[in-house]
Amino acid sequence: MKTTSYFLKISILVFAILFTSSVYAQTQCAPWIKLSTSAPKNITSRSYNVPTKSEVGIPIYPGSYLTSLSAPRADTLEFENSILPFINLVTKDQPSKVISFYKSKLTKADGWNYSEEYKTFVQGDVASALTGFVPAVGIRNETGENFDLVHADEKSKAKLKTRIQIFYKKQ
């Protein structure tokens, strides 16, 4: 009787661990930025599947919000072998803080290079930084005037300081 009870407890524990890690792995990479109350109810890009952190494979800046992402593969078949998918994130933190975060995460030892001129991290040659053909993380000042913030909540938008664009190879 003790063996059956012990086996049942272990089975439940293993199931809970596997289920929890599976759910965690399926969580989208970042939450969407809050919309204004006057925003349309059917914003097309918000119906796209948001990649998970593990699919992006590049660290997501803590506390950042998703503003847009590349169209689903079915909508971009002609580019699927060349241009990488991307996500656009925003944060209320200063660009210097975001750059420091990525400098600690995307290191030369892992094949990443940083261009101070373009404020961009590139996996590989810096000359490929702005092409969309190699994994990259671009960091820019955010003014709140970008196209993908048109319907964002004004209070949230007013606090933004930095935009992060991540081109990634799906993992």
Question: For the residues 112-118, what does the mean pLDDT come to?
Answer: 93
Interval 149-165: pLDDT, tens = 999 999 999 999 999 99
Joined together, the tokens standing for residue 121 give 């991290």
62 pLDDT more than 70: yes
Q: How far is CA 32 from CA 43, 94, 148, in A?
A: 12, 20, 11
Extents of the domains making up the chain = 29-167
Write down the pLDDT at residue 17: 47
| Residue 64: exposure state from Cβ atoms within 10 A (0-12, 13-18, ≥19) | buried
Binned at pLDDT 50, 70 and 90, residue 80 comes out as low
The pLDDT value given to residue 4: 58
pLDDT value of residue 26: 65
pLDDT of 166: 96
CA distances from 136 to 80, 102, 104, 161 (A): 17, 11, 15, 20
Q: Would you say residue 13 has pLDDT above 50?
A: no
pLDDT digits (tens, 9 = 90+) for 116-140: 999 999 998 888 776 778 899 999 9
pTM for this entry? 0.81
Of 3-17, 114-128, 138-152, the one with minimum mean pLDDT is 3-17
Find the mean pLDDT for residues 96-117: 96
